[in-house]
Amino acid sequence: MHSERSFLARRGVRISLAALASLAAMLVFATGALAHKGVEHVFIVSQSAPPEGPLPPNVAYFTTIQAAVNATAANEYDWILVEPGVYDEEVKVTAAHAGIHIRGMNRNGVILDGQGKAAPGGSNGILVEKANEVWIENMTARNYDRETPDGGNGNAFWWSGGDGSGKEGAHGWWGKYLTAYDTTLNGGYGIFAQNEKEGSWEHIYASGYNDSGIYIGACWECKAKVNDATIEDNAVGYSGSNSGGRLVIENSIFRNNSAGIVPNGENPGDGPPPSNGMCDAKKPSRKKPYHLFTSTNIARCEIFRKNLITENNNLEAPANGSTEVAPWGVGVELPGVMATETTENTITNNASNGVLGFEYPNPYPPRECDAQEVKEAEEKHEGCTKTIYFQLSGNKVANNTFENNGTNGSSEYNSQITLQGGIFPYRKFTSDNNCVSGNTFLGTTTTWPNKIEERWGCQNNTTPPPGNGPGALEYIEQLSEESVVFRHAKAGVEPPPQETMPNPCENVPTNPLCP
């Protein structure tokens, strides 16, 4: 609970009844509206008739989730409890409903069903738009689709602080016991947070998406955590464009995607770039999307740890124009990212590479803006998109267990770990000070560069760019081409039931569902 009452109670604060009465009188005198602040309403969504007789105070029944959302008031921390049933609706939460909890009474029984409708503009299950502190828990959303594979929307659960704005327009996104899946080819993202900071997902599942199962993007200081996620059968398991700072993904499973964990710098997408996981980094800008690392000994707050990352070789997963050209068969893919830490994971049976890091000029092939393009962009009040030379720098890969990665055998760069860099430096910014140490290699010890834990070990204060030349660049392009040529996308399947919330009445005020 998030009322003042529960805040005080949790801390053992004792206030006399006389003092409370005096305080209440003062508040009513100041403004009648304040007398209602802190009251937690419970709005029950049911496909059955409400119980007979009078309802308790502050309890109401609705037949749709959207109607219940519309009845809430911002910052009053109202509760919406959804009884089991199939709900054919799209739900939108705006700033007028900030602070609400939307909770299903059974994760597998409460189903938002988009029915695979190819509506113009696409559809979303629950869209939280520029609303702070919104909880969504214990339910399933399926088959909310894009009109075409590259169309807009198509997300099951989406917290958006301002799509395409380049600004963090909201904070506080919280999700637990969520299932997102798609059985068509046009589902976009499963569980999605963008242009927001401070949030977490726990006990979540996502499958069947042509972009990524989960996504956290456009937050230079994300303050985010993902724990106990199972992400499978997507084009990409986790995608994170221009996200960084404090961002942890742990104790999760990424399996049978085309690629597993893929943070990335992006231009001109979810800005501002770059993707920088250094602790307490300064806010970036489009004019300065680079950072110079002078040592391997830096504090990293973007951490992927204690995950199982396995068999991400799935070329039957749906894909769109962006994801189908991404390198496939990779456990952890680092395209133009900085200062991430990949540690204590088990990374197995990824056909191309266990870890693959590379410089990422974006757009590619590299381009500049000529005078005419600049003029046309200014007339549209836009900026001309010229290439940003995202470097691979400051990353750490340590204390993981690698087994049977890089078994594809189509290239000498198939290996447990491959780092590429030194081809696209930008002025003084280069792909250096990445380090690799303490890993266990089972099946093969092949890495690129060879014996990577020597010259590129974290015992070294500095490390050079990998310097493996055009061949490594051609390898990245080869994996991209293979992903397109060999892909035979198939629609996803309904997953088995997932663990439901043990007590969906936890912290909820008394109501007919939670006596």
Residues 364 and 329 in one domain: yes
Q: Does 197 reside within a domain?
A: no
Residues 315 and 428 in one domain: yes
Q: Does 174 reside within a domain?
A: yes
Whether the bond into 274 is cis, omega within 30 of 0: yes
Cα 463–Cα 348–Cα 443 angle in degrees, nearest 5: 80
DSSP result, 101-134: EEEES-TTTEEEE-TT---TT--EEEEEES-SSE
3-state class of 175 per DSSP? strand
Cβ-contact 242, 218 below 8 angstroms:
yes
Residues 173 and 215 in one domain: no
Domain that holds residue 73: 39-188+500-515
Q: Report the domain count for the chain.
A: 3
Longest Cα pair distance anywhere in the chain, in angstroms?
A: 79
Q: Does 203 reside within a domain?
A: no
Residue 26: other Cβ atoms inside 10 A: 10
Cα 162–Cα 42–Cα 52 angle in degrees, nearest 5: 140
To the nearest 10°, the Cα dihedral for 103, 108, 114, 115?
Answer: -160
Residues 424 and 286 in one domain: yes
Residues 234 and 180 in one domain: no
CA neighbours closer than 13 Å in the CB half-sphere of residue 110: 26
CA–CA distance, 52 with 47 (Å, rounded to integer): 15
Q: Does 194 reside within a domain?
A: no
Q: Does 504 reside within a domain?
A: yes
Amino acid of residue 138? N
User: Which phi and psi angles does 481 have, rounded to 5°?
Assistant: -65, -40
Q: Does 193 reside within a domain?
A: no
3-state class of 271 per DSSP? coil
Residues 392 and 329 in one domain: yes
Per-residue pLDDT 10s for the chain (515 aa) are: 333 222 223 223 333 333 333 333 333 323 333 333 467 899 999 999 998 889 999 999 999 999 999 999 888 899 999 999 999 999 999 999 999 999 999 999 999 999 998 788 999 999 999 999 999 999 999 999 999 999 999 999 999 999 988 899 999 999 999 999 999 999 999 999 999 999 999 999 999 999 999 999 999 999 999 999 999 999 999 999 999 999 999 999 999 999 999 999 999 889 899 999 999 988 887 778 889 999 999 999 999 999 999 999 999 999 999 999 999 999 999 999 999 999 999 999 999 999 999 999 998 888 888 777 766 665 565 667 889 999 999 999 999 999 999 999 889 999 999 999 999 999 999 999 999 999 999 999 999 999 999 999 999 999 999 988 889 999 999 999 999 999 999 999 999 999 999 999 999 999 999 99
User: Which phi and psi angles does 239 have, rounded to 5°?
Assistant: -120, 140
- Could you tell me which of 250, 345, 249, 244 has the C-alpha nearest to residue 299? 244
Residues 265 and 330 in one domain: yes
Residues 174 and 233 in one domain: no
Q: Is the pTM of this model over 0.85?
A: yes
Residues 140 and 12 in one domain: no
- Enclosing H/E stretch for 169: none
Q: Does 200 reside within a domain?
A: no
Residues 317 and 254 in one domain: yes
Q: How far is CA 232 from CA 209, 284, 318, in A?
A: 9, 32, 12
Residues 453 and 476 in one domain: yes
